[in-house]
Amino acid sequence: MTAAAAVEVRDLHKSFGDLEVLKGIDLRIAAGEVVCVIGPSGSGKSTLLRCVNLLEEPTAGQVLVGGVELTDPEIDIDAVRRGIGMVFQQFNLFPHLTVTENLTLPQRRVLRRSKAEAGEVAASGLRRVGLVDKAEAYPAQLSGGQQQRVAIARALAMAPRVMLFDEPTSALDPELVGEVLGVMRGLADEGMTMVVVTHEMSFAREVADRVVFMDDGVVVEDGPPAQVVAAPRHDRTRAFLSRLLDPAAGPASGDAAVKAAGPAEHGAAP
Protein backbone atom coordinates (compact mmCIF):
# COMPACT_ATOMS: atom_id res chain seq x y z
CA MET A 1 0.00 0.00 0.00
CA THR A 2 1.23 3.48 -0.91
CA ALA A 3 0.34 6.86 0.61
CA ALA A 4 -3.11 7.88 1.85
CA ALA A 5 -5.88 6.59 -0.39
CA ALA A 6 -7.91 9.10 -2.41
CA VAL A 7 -11.06 7.61 -0.92
CA GLU A 8 -11.24 5.27 1.99
CA VAL A 9 -14.37 3.77 3.48
CA ARG A 10 -14.09 1.85 6.73
CA ASP A 11 -16.82 -0.41 8.04
CA LEU A 12 -19.53 1.91 6.72
CA HIS A 13 -23.07 1.30 7.93
CA LYS A 14 -26.14 3.20 6.87
CA SER A 15 -29.72 2.63 7.96
CA PHE A 16 -32.92 4.40 6.99
CA GLY A 17 -35.03 3.79 10.06
CA ASP A 18 -35.18 0.02 10.50
CA LEU A 19 -33.85 -0.67 7.01
CA GLU A 20 -30.12 -1.34 7.02
CA VAL A 21 -28.95 -0.44 3.53
CA LEU A 22 -25.16 -0.59 3.99
CA LYS A 23 -23.95 -3.40 6.22
CA GLY A 24 -20.28 -2.69 6.71
CA ILE A 25 -18.51 -1.54 3.56
CA ASP A 26 -14.72 -1.39 3.33
CA LEU A 27 -13.23 0.24 0.27
CA ARG A 28 -9.87 1.78 -0.61
CA ILE A 29 -9.45 3.75 -3.79
CA ALA A 30 -6.00 4.98 -4.75
CA ALA A 31 -5.38 8.29 -6.46
CA GLY A 32 -5.93 7.98 -10.21
CA GLU A 33 -7.87 4.77 -9.87
CA VAL A 34 -11.15 4.22 -11.72
CA VAL A 35 -13.53 2.00 -9.79
CA CYS A 36 -16.84 0.84 -11.19
CA VAL A 37 -19.53 -0.20 -8.71
CA ILE A 38 -22.07 -2.66 -10.05
CA GLY A 39 -24.92 -4.51 -8.42
CA PRO A 40 -28.66 -5.06 -8.47
CA SER A 41 -31.11 -2.22 -7.96
CA GLY A 42 -31.58 -1.48 -4.26
CA SER A 43 -28.26 -3.02 -3.24
CA GLY A 44 -27.07 0.32 -1.82
CA LYS A 45 -24.78 1.64 -4.59
CA SER A 46 -26.27 5.14 -4.59
CA THR A 47 -26.31 5.25 -0.82
CA LEU A 48 -22.61 4.30 -0.73
CA LEU A 49 -21.76 7.04 -3.23
CA ARG A 50 -23.87 9.60 -1.37
CA CYS A 51 -22.14 8.69 1.89
CA VAL A 52 -18.78 9.42 0.28
CA ASN A 53 -19.67 13.12 0.01
CA LEU A 54 -22.00 13.06 2.99
CA LEU A 55 -25.23 13.74 1.10
CA GLU A 56 -26.26 10.90 3.39
CA GLU A 57 -25.04 10.82 6.97
CA PRO A 58 -23.45 7.44 7.70
CA THR A 59 -24.93 5.62 10.68
CA ALA A 60 -21.54 4.20 11.64
CA GLY A 61 -18.06 3.85 10.21
CA GLN A 62 -15.63 6.26 8.63
CA VAL A 63 -15.26 7.98 5.28
CA LEU A 64 -11.92 9.58 4.37
CA VAL A 65 -11.33 11.59 1.23
CA GLY A 66 -7.78 12.72 0.54
CA GLY A 67 -6.85 11.68 4.05
CA VAL A 68 -9.48 13.96 5.63
CA GLU A 69 -12.10 12.23 7.73
CA LEU A 70 -15.51 13.46 6.56
CA THR A 71 -17.30 11.66 9.34
CA ASP A 72 -15.50 13.81 11.90
CA PRO A 73 -18.26 16.09 13.25
CA GLU A 74 -15.80 19.01 13.45
CA ILE A 75 -15.13 18.95 9.72
CA ASP A 76 -16.20 21.79 7.40
CA ILE A 77 -18.20 19.62 5.04
CA ASP A 78 -18.70 22.38 2.45
CA ALA A 79 -14.94 22.75 2.11
CA VAL A 80 -14.44 18.99 1.70
CA ARG A 81 -17.22 18.69 -0.86
CA ARG A 82 -15.41 21.19 -3.11
CA GLY A 83 -12.83 18.50 -3.73
CA ILE A 84 -15.45 15.87 -4.63
CA GLY A 85 -17.39 16.21 -7.85
CA MET A 86 -20.69 14.41 -8.21
CA VAL A 87 -22.67 13.56 -11.32
CA PHE A 88 -26.27 12.44 -10.90
CA GLN A 89 -28.49 10.13 -12.88
CA GLN A 90 -30.99 12.96 -13.42
CA PHE A 91 -28.28 15.53 -14.34
CA ASN A 92 -29.67 18.09 -11.86
CA LEU A 93 -28.60 21.09 -13.87
CA PHE A 94 -29.99 24.38 -12.55
CA PRO A 95 -32.88 25.05 -14.94
CA HIS A 96 -33.11 28.79 -14.24
CA LEU A 97 -29.50 29.36 -15.31
CA THR A 98 -27.85 29.14 -18.71
CA VAL A 99 -25.24 26.49 -19.38
CA THR A 100 -22.45 28.99 -18.74
CA GLU A 101 -24.10 30.25 -15.55
CA ASN A 102 -24.47 26.66 -14.35
CA LEU A 103 -20.69 26.44 -14.57
CA THR A 104 -19.78 29.90 -13.29
CA LEU A 105 -22.18 30.38 -10.37
CA PRO A 106 -20.67 27.63 -8.17
CA GLN A 107 -17.14 28.80 -8.97
CA ARG A 108 -17.95 32.37 -8.06
CA ARG A 109 -20.01 31.66 -4.95
CA VAL A 110 -17.96 28.79 -3.56
CA LEU A 111 -14.42 29.34 -4.81
CA ARG A 112 -14.82 33.15 -4.98
CA ARG A 113 -13.31 33.22 -8.43
CA SER A 114 -13.58 36.43 -10.40
CA LYS A 115 -16.17 36.69 -13.13
CA ALA A 116 -13.47 36.60 -15.79
CA GLU A 117 -11.69 33.59 -14.34
CA ALA A 118 -14.89 31.63 -13.82
CA GLY A 119 -15.90 32.45 -17.39
CA GLU A 120 -12.59 31.17 -18.71
CA VAL A 121 -12.81 27.94 -16.73
CA ALA A 122 -16.40 27.49 -17.94
CA ALA A 123 -15.43 28.05 -21.58
CA SER A 124 -12.58 25.56 -21.45
CA GLY A 125 -14.82 23.08 -19.64
CA LEU A 126 -17.44 23.37 -22.37
CA ARG A 127 -14.76 22.92 -25.02
CA ARG A 128 -13.67 19.74 -23.34
CA VAL A 129 -17.20 18.25 -23.40
CA GLY A 130 -17.81 19.61 -26.91
CA LEU A 131 -20.61 22.04 -26.07
CA VAL A 132 -19.14 25.47 -26.76
CA ASP A 133 -22.05 26.30 -29.06
CA LYS A 134 -24.54 25.66 -26.23
CA ALA A 135 -22.95 28.13 -23.80
CA GLU A 136 -25.94 30.47 -23.74
CA ALA A 137 -28.64 27.76 -23.95
CA TYR A 138 -30.85 26.78 -21.02
CA PRO A 139 -30.77 23.16 -19.84
CA ALA A 140 -34.30 22.51 -21.11
CA GLN A 141 -33.05 23.23 -24.64
CA LEU A 142 -30.47 20.43 -24.49
CA SER A 143 -30.72 16.70 -25.06
CA GLY A 144 -30.15 14.40 -22.11
CA GLY A 145 -26.67 13.55 -23.29
CA GLN A 146 -25.77 17.21 -23.64
CA GLN A 147 -27.20 17.97 -20.19
CA GLN A 148 -25.13 15.23 -18.63
CA ARG A 149 -21.98 16.52 -20.34
CA VAL A 150 -22.72 19.98 -18.96
CA ALA A 151 -23.20 18.44 -15.52
CA ILE A 152 -19.80 16.78 -15.79
CA ALA A 153 -18.22 20.07 -16.89
CA ARG A 154 -19.89 21.84 -13.99
CA ALA A 155 -18.42 19.40 -11.50
CA LEU A 156 -14.98 19.58 -13.14
CA ALA A 157 -14.99 23.39 -13.04
CA MET A 158 -14.54 23.13 -9.28
CA ALA A 159 -11.26 21.26 -9.86
CA PRO A 160 -12.20 18.23 -7.75
CA ARG A 161 -9.69 15.52 -6.86
CA VAL A 162 -12.31 12.79 -6.95
CA MET A 163 -15.35 12.37 -9.21
CA LEU A 164 -18.40 10.34 -8.24
CA PHE A 165 -20.83 9.20 -10.95
CA ASP A 166 -24.21 7.72 -9.99
CA GLU A 167 -25.55 5.89 -13.04
CA PRO A 168 -24.69 8.82 -15.30
CA THR A 169 -26.14 7.20 -18.42
CA SER A 170 -29.17 5.38 -16.99
CA ALA A 171 -31.61 8.18 -17.81
CA LEU A 172 -30.38 8.56 -21.38
CA ASP A 173 -31.72 7.28 -24.66
CA PRO A 174 -29.39 4.51 -25.85
CA GLU A 175 -27.96 6.53 -28.72
CA LEU A 176 -26.85 9.29 -26.30
CA VAL A 177 -24.97 7.01 -23.89
CA GLY A 178 -21.80 6.96 -25.98
CA GLU A 179 -21.12 10.70 -25.90
CA VAL A 180 -21.26 10.75 -22.08
CA LEU A 181 -19.12 7.64 -21.68
CA GLY A 182 -16.66 9.19 -24.12
CA VAL A 183 -16.20 12.22 -21.88
CA MET A 184 -15.76 9.95 -18.85
CA ARG A 185 -13.22 7.83 -20.69
CA GLY A 186 -11.22 10.96 -21.49
CA LEU A 187 -11.33 11.95 -17.86
CA ALA A 188 -10.09 8.52 -16.79
CA ASP A 189 -7.23 8.72 -19.30
CA GLU A 190 -6.15 12.00 -17.72
CA GLY A 191 -5.77 10.25 -14.38
CA MET A 192 -8.87 11.46 -12.54
CA THR A 193 -9.85 9.37 -9.53
CA MET A 194 -13.33 8.12 -10.33
CA VAL A 195 -16.02 6.05 -8.64
CA VAL A 196 -18.67 5.11 -11.17
CA VAL A 197 -21.91 3.33 -10.41
CA THR A 198 -22.94 1.93 -13.76
CA HIS A 199 -24.59 -0.87 -15.67
CA GLU A 200 -22.41 -0.24 -18.73
CA MET A 201 -20.32 -3.41 -18.66
CA SER A 202 -18.23 -2.50 -21.68
CA PHE A 203 -17.19 0.72 -19.90
CA ALA A 204 -16.40 -1.23 -16.75
CA ARG A 205 -14.35 -3.78 -18.69
CA GLU A 206 -12.39 -1.30 -20.75
CA VAL A 207 -11.96 1.72 -18.46
CA ALA A 208 -12.13 0.51 -14.87
CA ASP A 209 -9.05 -0.49 -12.92
CA ARG A 210 -11.32 -2.30 -10.50
CA VAL A 211 -14.88 -3.46 -10.40
CA VAL A 212 -16.78 -3.74 -7.13
CA PHE A 213 -19.87 -5.91 -7.05
CA MET A 214 -22.36 -5.00 -4.32
CA ASP A 215 -25.39 -6.93 -3.26
CA ASP A 216 -27.71 -6.40 -0.32
CA GLY A 217 -25.54 -3.77 1.35
CA VAL A 218 -22.20 -5.59 1.25
CA VAL A 219 -19.28 -5.80 -1.17
CA VAL A 220 -19.44 -9.30 -2.57
CA GLU A 221 -16.55 -9.15 -4.98
CA ASP A 222 -13.80 -6.61 -5.61
CA GLY A 223 -11.09 -6.97 -8.21
CA PRO A 224 -9.90 -6.18 -11.72
CA PRO A 225 -12.58 -6.32 -14.43
CA ALA A 226 -10.91 -9.35 -15.99
CA GLN A 227 -11.82 -11.19 -12.84
CA VAL A 228 -15.09 -9.71 -11.55
CA VAL A 229 -16.77 -9.24 -14.94
CA ALA A 230 -15.12 -11.93 -17.03
CA ALA A 231 -14.64 -14.68 -14.47
CA PRO A 232 -16.69 -13.93 -11.32
CA ARG A 233 -16.00 -16.18 -8.36
CA HIS A 234 -19.28 -15.74 -6.56
CA ASP A 235 -22.65 -17.11 -7.58
CA ARG A 236 -24.37 -13.82 -6.83
CA THR A 237 -22.03 -11.96 -9.19
CA ARG A 238 -22.53 -14.56 -11.90
CA ALA A 239 -26.30 -14.43 -11.53
CA PHE A 240 -26.33 -10.64 -11.66
CA LEU A 241 -24.11 -10.50 -14.73
CA SER A 242 -26.09 -13.09 -16.64
CA ARG A 243 -29.29 -11.16 -15.90
CA LEU A 244 -27.63 -7.96 -17.06
CA LEU A 245 -26.39 -9.46 -20.31
CA ASP A 246 -29.60 -11.32 -21.05
CA PRO A 247 -32.49 -9.49 -19.32
CA ALA A 248 -35.10 -11.68 -21.02
CA ALA A 249 -33.70 -14.78 -19.34
CA GLY A 250 -35.69 -14.15 -16.14
CA PRO A 251 -34.80 -14.37 -12.45
CA ALA A 252 -31.39 -15.28 -11.15
CA SER A 253 -30.63 -18.89 -10.28
CA GLY A 254 -33.62 -20.26 -12.17
CA ASP A 255 -32.10 -19.50 -15.58
CA ALA A 256 -32.00 -23.02 -16.85
CA ALA A 257 -35.39 -23.93 -15.39
CA VAL A 258 -37.09 -20.93 -16.99
CA LYS A 259 -35.52 -21.61 -20.34
CA ALA A 260 -36.60 -25.21 -20.16
CA ALA A 261 -40.13 -24.31 -19.09
CA GLY A 262 -40.47 -21.65 -21.78
CA PRO A 263 -41.20 -23.74 -24.86
CA ALA A 264 -43.45 -26.12 -22.93
CA GLU A 265 -45.66 -23.26 -21.73
CA HIS A 266 -45.68 -21.82 -25.18
CA GLY A 267 -46.83 -25.11 -26.59
CA ALA A 268 -49.65 -25.35 -24.05
CA ALA A 269 -50.99 -21.93 -24.97
CA PRO A 270 -54.12 -21.95 -27.14
Interaction site with ligand ADP (CB under 6 A)? 16, 19, 21, 39, 41-47
Q: Residue 46 or 193: which CB sits closer to Mg ion?
A: 46
Contact between 115 and another protein by CB under 8 A: the answer reads no
Shortest CB 30 distance to ligand ADP, Å: 24
Q: What one-letter code names the amino acid at 116?
A: A
CA dist 87 and 148 (Å) reads 8
Q: Does 169 bind Mg ion (CB under 5 A)?
A: no
Q: Are strands 193-197 and 60-65 parallel, antiparallel or unpaired?
A: unpaired
Amino acid at 268: A
Can residue 81 be called a binding residue for another protein (CB under 8 A)? yes
Nearer to ligand ADP, 47 or 104 (CB): 47
For residue 181, give the 3-state DSSP assignment.
Answer: helix
Contact 61, 24 (CB under 8 A): yes
Tell which residue, 41, 8, 1, 2, has the closest CA to residue 25.
8
Burial letters 210-226, b for 16+ CB under 10 A, else e: bbbbbbebbbbbbeebe
93 near another protein, judged by CB under 8 A: yes
CB of 211 to another protein, least distance (A): 24
Pick 15 or 242: Cβ nearer ligand ADP: 15
Can you tell me the distance from the alpha carbon of 158 to that of 112, in angstroms, rounded to the nearest whole number? 11
Interacting partner of 96 out of Mg ion, ligand ADP, another protein, none (Cβ under 5 to 8 A depending on kind): another protein
Residues in 20-79 at the binding interface with Mg ion, rule: CB under 5 A: 46
Q: Which residue is nearest to Mg ion (CB)?
A: 46
Residue 58's closest CA among 73, 41, 43? Answer: 73
The option from another protein, Mg ion, ligand ADP, none interacting with 145 (CB < 5 to 8 A, set by class) reads none
Task: Report the alpha-carbon distance of residue 114 to residue 217 in Å, rounded.
Answer: 44
Burial class of residue 247, CB neighbours in 10 A (0-12, 13-18, 19+): exposed
Instruction: Show contacts with another protein in window 117-176 (CB under 8 A).
Output: 140, 151, 154-155, 158
Interaction partner, residue 198 (another protein, Mg ion, ligand ADP, none; CB < 5-8 Å by kind): none
Which of Mg ion, ligand ADP, another protein, none interacts with 139 (beta carbon under 5 to 8 A by kind)? none
Which residues are at the interface with another protein (CB under 8 A)? 53, 55, 78-79, 81-82, 84-86, 88, 90, 92-96, 105-106, 109-111, 140, 151, 154-155, 158
